[in-house]
Structure 1
């Protein structure tokens, strides 16, 4: 039985992990959100989040974006390739409601899966 949990092992925690992704990323993005990905040597994907105060002023909005992103990743973790992902919120992301943000993330996860199959 598949367990949709989000343990510590599925998170990018240190700046070293983030820098690894930023060096040579595969990009997928929209006007509001970008997802950078890079193959890792693990057997599972990991995710890190960046929601800058510059673009998302209020803490409850930053928390909402992070919560929805983690939930989207948690539900897709078994269909994603073994990559490290960094999700970056851009200017105007607060204009998206929960459904629109979730749909955008799903489209970007799917795009990364297609890019991985092309490698």
Structure 2
């Protein structure tokens, strides 16, 4: 038995972050930015676009963490890890939308808990009303 995997060998489907839940292509990012809907928090912008019924069900996430705000790759990767983890935990309750979380302002201090709570509150605004 592997210490890093549950006994079944796979994570539960609702807690995974598979490739089909990610925005990967430039035109996918462009369509979300072109929709021009966004929610703002202290450090982030959450751009979103409703998905058509014929598209895959569920929410998808894209991340933009600019080098001009965080020069060190370690810091940029921390933001990405926090965003992916919070998205992964909330994904089963999110409306079917394409989401892009973008760092909009340079954080004065990298407080993991504060940034994670900020990301969680932004994503929480996208939760379906029946969940």
2:71 is the counterpart of 1:60? no
Partner of 2:48: 37
1:61–1:94 Cα contact (<8 Å) kept: no
1:28–1:112 Cα contact (<8 Å) kept: no
Per-residue CA distance 1:27-82 (angstroms, 9 max, x = gap): 11112011111011331100000000011110000000001100000000011100
Task: Please report the TM-score for the alignment, with normalisation by the length of structure 2.
Answer: 0.80
CA RMSD of aligned residues (A): 1.6
Give the Å deviation of 1:90: 2.0
Greater displacement, 13-22 / 35-44: 35-44
Partner of 1:13: 24
Q: For this pair of structures, how many residues does the alignment match? A: 115
2:14–2:92 Cα contact (<8 Å) kept: no
Give unmatched runs, 5+ long, in structure 2: 1-11
Task: Please report the TM-score for the alignment, with normalisation by the length of structure 1.
Answer: 0.88
Inter-partner Cα distance in structure 2 for 1:36 and 1:52: 15
